[in-house]
Structures are given as structure tokens and as C-alpha cells.
Amino acid sequence: MPRRQPALGRTRHPDPGPCRLPEQRTRTAGRASDPARPGGRRRALRRDGHRAGRPRVKQPPNPLNTRPQAREWLWDLNPRSSAADVTLVLLPHSGGSAQSYGEWGRWFPSTVRVVAAQYPGRGARYGQDPVTEIAALADPLAEVLAGLDTPVHVFGHSLGALVGFEVCWRLQQAARPATVFHPSAAAAAHVHRSAAVSPARLTDAELLELLAERGGMPEDILAEPDLIDLVLDACRTDMAVTDSYSYGGDDRRLDCPVIAFGGDTDSAVPVAELERWSELTHADSEIHVLTGGHFYLHDHMATLTGVVRQHLQERSSLG
């Protein structure tokens, strides 16, 4: 008998304004190269170059460095985290790559391994053929994540949210469930619908206009015709993957909490469709609506990562 679904929690956030997380302390000039202790005394160097009096701690190997498949699929955004307690995996939007999440690593402490998925045909995998269906992303990603040595939290934006749901479902079926799933800027998987006009039928000008309307086309790319062609090709491919997605006929619900995010003026994803993620979990659910459109997250990094950090802390040994 299905467990009763808890009431949906809904939070609206104003613009956060500039702020700094506790871990982001400003370094004093010269600090990194100055080994002096308070009072001006220096510690002597041993012959091996390490400071005397400080025991050497052997760090466990980072699985991203020891497993070829993990290195191929996951891009490490927080190299400090070799002894991490939890892994946060970030799944890109249509046309995006692991580099789309480049700044996320600095918002989390070294106890969090922050990784972004690199889809075939993007970044260092540019020479590979792009995928044509979500299962071709979800299957290998779930296999890689199931082999990690920490609990896994999943965040996916737009296309990444659909990939994330399928990854979480596969992890659950493998008895290695995700700890929390964070879908962003996407209608719930079971109410997903194809675009009114297939992206394959849009002209370059029409697709550019659509991307500009959603805020997904940086100004520096618009100034580079060669880059525009690459981005448009990637967007067409991924939007076709999104269009082809089907939740299926089975009643598939996750056992982990689902904490969703979206923009209040996102023309592609009405808040009502974002709220329906609550129907796809047996656990707690929340929705956080921030000001902005489809790419609201660029203006709300402090708030967004703060909520994710809170759930990381509540469900792990992070302090």
C-alpha cells in the first residue's frame, strides 16, 4: 500500500543580493605562501619538504581518478574533496556541458565532492557522437554513481532534471538510492510534454530568439559566429532528446525527498507543472520559486546553493 504523500512545502525567495557563505573566507594577501606561525616563528622543513610537527594524513584515492568510466562522465568541480563525505552530481541543461556548472565548486566545503556530468559530444568528449535518448545518459551515469563511495545527491536543470529523475530511479532499483533529488526548471517527469514546434523545424534565427528569450545565450557567444553554430547544434540535439522523453505507463516514485526549484516568470515551465514533482516521491517534497525565468539560477547562486547545502547537512555527517 503506497505511503501517504506529505503536503507540498512551497517557498518563495526574493533576490538574495550579494552574500558570502561561511566557508568563503577572504584570504589575506600572501597567506598561501607564508608558512609563519602567529608570532612570526617559522616551522622547520623536513627533508621531504613537509612541515615538522604536523603528522601526514594519507588521503583515500579519489574514485574519479581511479575509475576510467567515472573520469569520462564526471568532471570534478571541487578537487579539494578527495576525502568527501557526500557527492553532489550536477546534470546540465539542453546545449550545456559540465562547464556550465564551473562556479559551483566554490560554494561547497571540501567535505562535499561536487561533480558535473559531461555528456557525449561536449567538452573533452566533443569527438564522440551525442546521444539521442535520455536512457543513453541515465544508464551509464547511474552505473558510475552507484560505484561511488559516498551518498549521492542529484541536481538537474531543465533536460538535466529529466535525466536526474531517470538516474535516481535506476539507483533506487539497484538498491543504491540517491539521498535527495533536486529538479530545476522542468515540469515533473510524468507531466512532461513535447514542444509545440519541434526544434528540428526551427530556423537558426528562430532558435536563437527562443534561447535569448529563455536567457540561455550568453552575450560573449553571440559575438562569435563559430561558437553560435556549435551551441545551436548542441541545443537542437538535446532539445530533440527532451522532446522524445516519455515517463512511461508505470507508477514510478522515488523514495528520496524531491526538492524542486524554478523561476516565477519561466515561460517554458509554469510553477503549477513544477509543483507536480511532489507526486513522484514517497518522501518529503518542497518547491522553491525564485524571481526570474528559465535560467533564474544565474542570479540566485547564494540562495540556491544555500538550500542545497542545507539538505546536504541534514542528511549527512556534514557539520
All domains of the chain in start order, with CATH: 9-14+45-314 (3.40.50.1820)
Residue 317: predicted pLDDT: 61
Residue 297: per-residue pLDDT: 94
Question: What pTM, to 2 d.p., does this model score?
Answer: 0.78
pLDDT (0 to 100) of residue 216 = 65
Q: How confident is the model at residue 126 (pLDDT cuts 50, 70, 90)?
A: confident
Q: How confident is the model at residue 48 (pLDDT cuts 50, 70, 90)?
A: very low
> Which of 32-46, 184-198, 208-222, 254-268 tops mean pLDDT?
254-268
User: What is the C-alpha separation between 310 and 319, in angstroms, rounded?
Assistant: 10
The single residue listed with the C-alpha cell 565548486 is 105
Beta bridge partners of 152: 87
Q: How confident is the model at residue 210 (pLDDT cuts 50, 70, 90)?
A: confident
Q: Of 20-29, 79-88, 198-207, give the lowest mean pLDDT range.
A: 20-29
pLDDT band at 63 (very low <50, low <70, confident <90, very high): low
- With 50 as the cut, is the pLDDT of residue 46 above it? no
Q: How many CA atoms lie within 13 A of 250 on its CB side?
A: 4
Residues 27/306, Cβ–Cβ less than 8 Å: no
User: Residue 51 pLDDT more than 60?
Assistant: no
For 96, half-sphere exposure in the C-beta direction (CA atoms, 13 angstrom radius) is: 22
Per-residue pLDDT at 202: 86
Region 187-208 average pLDDT: 87
Q: How far is CA 22 from CA 86, 284, 309, in A?
A: 19, 27, 12
Average pLDDT score over the chain: 81
Q: Among 50-54, 167-171, 233-237, 261-265, where is mean pLDDT lowest? A: 50-54
Q: What average pLDDT does the segment 274-278 reach?
A: 98
CA 118 and chain centroid, separation: 11
Per-residue cell: 129: 557522437
Dump pLDDT digits (tens) for 290-316: 999 999 999 999 999 999 999 999 887
As a whole number of Å, the end-to-end CA separation of the chain is 36
Residue 226 pLDDT class (50, 70, 90 cuts) = confident
In which band, very low, low, confident or very high, does the pLDDT at 70 lie, cut at 50, 70 and 90? confident
